[in-house]
Amino acid sequence: MYETIHMLHSYLAYVALAVLFLAVVNAITGLFGNRIFNMGKDLRLSLFALILCHIQLLIGLILFFVSPSGLSAIQEFGMGGLTSAARLLAVEHPFINILAIVSITVGWSRHKKFVEGNKKFKSIAIFYGIGLLLILSRIPWGQWFN
Ligand code: HEM
Ligand code: HEM
């Protein structure tokens, strides 16, 4: 169970990060290029990034409860007893990534309310951009497929 969920979370991280990155770049170029928000390509890319992040959130939440590096580590060592590497996995990564996905979801919800293309692009660019930066700030780079 743990191995499967962990593997899913590790592989999906590549896809989710790549698509999120593309959605941010697309929104920034759309905003500065004064493009019309295309209900095919632009909408699909932003929605695809949202869905992948939500699936990653769901798998991450399950992982937090089944992984020895998640809740179990906090229960075993206590908040104060965690090393900085253990704190990254059990506390910082889950907490910051939940905030990141909230930001991405807010960006998606806001974009739907606007009619003008530049406001849609701006909402995606800012809120997805903040989400991407938050996620990148707390990836356990050292153990990802090491
Ligand atoms: C812990 C699990 C999840 C939470 C807390 C969550 C939360 C949310 C929230 C609050 C929204 C509202 C955004 C809005 O106002 O438009 C939303 C939208 C959405 N979620 Fe999730 N979600 C979760 C898991 C998933 C999963 C597993 C999927 C896909 C398999 C998914 C697909 C979507 C889609 C497609 C939308 C956009 C709906 C639309 O605007 O058309 N979510 N989610
Ligand atoms: C888009 C958001 C996220 C990305 C890109 C992401 C990515 C990653 C990556 C690359 C790892 C290291 C995997 C490895 O060891 O090979 C990891 C581990 C982990 N993630 Fe996430 N994650 C995300 C969201 C979350 C969320 C929301 C939670 C929990 C609420 C979570 C919980 C965990 C836990 C507990 C581990 C440690 C697993 C272990 O070593 O046993 N992640 N994540």
Three-state SS for 16-83 is HHHHHHHHHHHHHHHHHCCCCCCCCHHHHHHHHHHHHHHHHHHHHHHHHHHCCCCHHHHHHHCHHHCC
Nearest CA to ligand 1 atom 15: 109
Task: Give yes or no for residue 26 CB within 6 A of ligand 2.
Answer: no
By most ligand atoms within 8 Å of CB, the mutation choice from 2, 5, 9 for ligand 2 is: 9
Model pLDDT, residue 49: 98
Tell whether the model's pLDDT for residue 25 goes beyond 90. yes
The owner of tokens 């990155």 is: 21
Nearest CA to ligand 1 atom 33: 51
Cα of 120 vs centre of ligand 2, distance in Å, is 29
Give me the residue spans of the domains in the chain: 2-143
**Which ligand approaches the C-alpha of residue 112 most closely?**
1
Cα of 108 vs centre of ligand 1, distance in Å, is 10
Model pLDDT, residue 131: 98
The confidence band for 146, taking pLDDT boundaries of 50, 70 and 90, is low
Cα of 144 vs centre of ligand 2, distance in Å, is 9
Cα of 88 vs centre of ligand 2, distance in Å, is 10
Model pLDDT, residue 145: 74
> Which residue, among 28, 18, 29, has the nearest Cα to 52 in the 3D structure?
18
Cα of 83 vs centre of ligand 2, distance in Å, is 17
Higher pLDDT, 94 or 143: 94
Q: Looking at residue 116, what DSSP letter applies? A: S
pTM for this predicted structure: 0.95
Instruction: Give the C-alpha separation, 89 to 55, whole Å.
Output: 19
